[in-house]
Amino acid sequence: MIYTWEDIEEHVAVCTCCPLCKTRRLPVMGRGNRQSALMLIAEAPGGQEDQQGIPFVGSSGEVLDRLLQDCGLKREDIYITNIIKCHPPGNRDPKEEEKEACFPYLKYETYLLKPEIIVCLGRVAAQRIITPDFKITRQHGTWIYRKNCALTATYHPSAILRDASKYEIVKEDFCEIAKKRAQLLAKQS
C-alpha cells in the first residue's frame, strides 16, 4: 500500500511490474509542485528523460518551458508526470499491458495531488485519461468536467518539434489553461 509521495518514489525506483524495467536506464517519477492544482500528464519518458530520470528535459522540455512562459506560467506552478514511468525503446507508443501495469502509480499521484485541472499532453494520454476515442486534432482545447476536476488535452510538445506550425495552436490551448488556473486561484483567495 502506498501512502505518501516518498512511497511512490520508492516503488517506482525499483519497479519490475512490466518488461520496460529491462530496457530502461532510469525510471522517471513525476515532478513539480506537489501542492499545485494543475497536473500535466504525457505518455512516457523520452530518451533524455531515461538518461536523467527527470520528466521533460531535453528538447521537448524546452518547448514546454517556452509554452509555459508565453502563457505566464512556470514549472514551479505545475506537477508533470507520465502515464508510464519507463522509456519505451525507440520511443514507440506504450503497450496496453504496460499502461495497465503502471497506472496505479498515476492513480496514487493523482490521489495525493488532488488536481483541479488535468491537462493531457498528446493522443495517448488523452485516450487513457479522457476517453478512448479522443481525437487530438479535433478535440484539443475542449474541456470536460469530472467531479471537482476540469480536464483538457493538447498536443505533446514533441509534435511541435516535428511541425513548428503547431506552436501557436498549442500556445492558445496553454493560455486557456493558464486562464482557468487563474480563475481557480481567484476563487480560492
Query: Do the beta carbons of residue 17 and residue 106 sit within 8 Å?
Result: no
Least separation in angstroms between residue 108's CB and ligand SF4 is 12
Write down the least CB distance from residue 88 to ligand SF4, Å: 8
Which member of 12, 38, 125, 130 binds ligand SF4 (CB under 6 A)? Answer: 12
CA distances from 184 to 37, 67, 148 (A): 9, 20, 11
101 binds ligand SF4 (CB under 6 A): yes
Q: Which three cell numbers stand for residue 2?
A: 502506498
Q: Residue 85, interface with ligand SF4 (CB under 6 A)?
A: yes
Decide: is 112 part of the binding site for ligand SF4 (CB under 6 A). Answer: no
**What is the distance between the alpha carbons of residues 149 and 37, in angstroms, rounded to a whole number?**
9
Q: How far is the CB of 149 from ligand SF4 (least distance, A)?
A: 23
Nearer to ligand SF4, 84 or 153 (CB): 84
How many residues of this chain bind ligand SF4 (CB under 6 A)? 14
The answer to whether residue 123 forms part of the interface with ligand SF4 (CB under 6 A) is no
Which positions ≥6 away from 178 have C-beta within 8 Å?
71, 72, 73
Residue 54 contacts ligand SF4 per CB under 6 A: no
Residue of 18, 42, 118, 151 interacting with ligand SF4 (CB under 6 A): 18
Closest approach of ligand SF4 to the CB of residue 36, in Å:
22
Which residues of this protein are in contact with ligand SF4, per CB under 6 A? Answer: 12, 15-18, 20-21, 27, 84-86, 98, 101-102
